[in-house]
Amino acid sequence: MEDITLTLPDRIVESLPADGEDAARDMERAVAGWERRLNRAADEADTDEAAAGAVVDALERFEDRLERYDDFVVELRAWGQSPIYAMAWRDLHVALMRQLYDHEDLSEYIDRERHSRLVSDGIRPGR
């Protein structure tokens, strides 16, 4: 499997306020860390299927964080505060998920692993 490359999209950095340099650096470090962890897991995996398991684990974490940040957006607005940072982190997780699905070596394995997990959890797709 080819190395996984993740990037922080420019549009997310550009959406941050003028004083958002610290947040942009934190996002860059987070993206680099996730990329390292995914590539290490892929290198340690015996097969592409096993590597896809690590990617699906990451996707599930990204989905959880996306939902958490989305909840923060609503809560911050309710308190009359700017949700811009929560929105940027939420959008980053969406972008990372998209990048993983767009990776040419992974998409087929991701779908198989997700379906396998659904079945092993006892949830059967409708007929």
Residue 3: the pLDDT is 87
Tens-binned pLDDT, residue by residue, of the chain (127 aa): 688 999 999 999 999 999 999 999 999 999 999 999 999 998 998 887 888 888 989 999 999 999 999 999 999 999 999 999 999 999 999 999 999 988 877 777 777 777 777 776 665 555 4
Taking the domains of the chain in order of start, what are their residue ranges?
Answer: 20-120
Contacts (Cβ under 8 Å, ≥6 apart) of 74: 83
Residue 127: the pLDDT is 47
Global pTM?
Answer: 0.83
Residue 125: the pLDDT is 54
Residue 112: the pLDDT is 77
Cβ–Cβ under 8 Å, residues 28 and 8 = yes
> What is the Cα–Cα distance from 115 to 127, expressed in whole angstroms?
14
> What is the Cα–Cα distance from 3 to 120, expressed in whole angstroms?
29
3-state helix, strand, coil in the chain (%, to 5): 75, 0, 25
